[in-house]
Amino acid sequence: EDGTVRLWQSTTYRAETTLNYGMERAWALAAAKDSNKLAMGFDEGCVVVELGSDDPVASMDATGKIVWARNNEIKTAKVSGFASDDIPDGDRLPVLPRDLGSCELYPQMLKHNCNGRFVAVCGDGEFIIYTAQALRNKAFGQALDFVWSGQGTGDYAIRESTSHLKIFKNFKEGASIRPATASADGLFGGHMLGVKGGDSAVLFYDWDSGEFVRKIDVAPKDIYWSD
């Protein structure tokens, strides 16, 4: 009766989010059977929301090997080697998926490192780095965000809070950064470490020294580096 609707993850039993539309008390919930839409009835009207994301939890390395998550199960397949002339545009590729194993957390993001030897799995404020071939545990920890460097095999950065970042070199802790912004809301990987600032700006830092390089007053959704 406080006017909020709370959502939990059925696999991890953790609270995901709280919805508040300012429409007084919530009285009814209805979920569509064959979709991810949820209807909520309040004193002053109703709201229909779409749960989840349409973005797949998957990653592909430079050789065409794909790793993806289905719930806690991790699968892999290879899409290179298919002749483009034999398969019409838009058709499904006849790939043969292979089970890699089960992940210890519920994956919300998968990402290969620069050479494809390792894959990071992130979710629920934690990350685990596995070998891409056999899903062997290499490193783990707590983080709000995780990004790989564009060069070093074991170089990555994590966002521990809105005011503290850590850079790891070859899987060993290196520089710590306190970004020159009111709130660090996200990270971007690549040739430089990008920090999404709460003041609609992105700040770039050097991977090796952790030194500030440049601030650009934009609010990007993602950053792509040229080769």
Mean pLDDT by 10 residues, the chain (227 residues): 81 77 87 83 88 79 88 86 71 84 87 92 90 90 92 90 92 90 90 90 92 91 86
Distance CA 33, CA 23 (A): 25
Residues 6+ apart with CB under 8 A from 168: 139, 154, 155, 156, 157, 158, 174
Q: What pLDDT was estimated at residue 105?
A: 84
Largest CA distance in the chain: 60
Distance CA 147, CA 165 (A): 11
What are the b/e assignments for 76-95, b being 16+ CB within 10 Å?
beeeeeeeeeeeeeeeeeee
* Residue 182 neighbours by CB distance under 10 Å: 11
What is the chain's alpha carbon radius of gyration, rounded to the nearest angstrom? 20
- Is 209 in contact with 157 (CB distance < 8 Å)? no
Q: What pLDDT was estimated at residue 117?
A: 92
Closest CA to 188 of 218, 170, 209, 52: 218
pTM of the model: 0.76
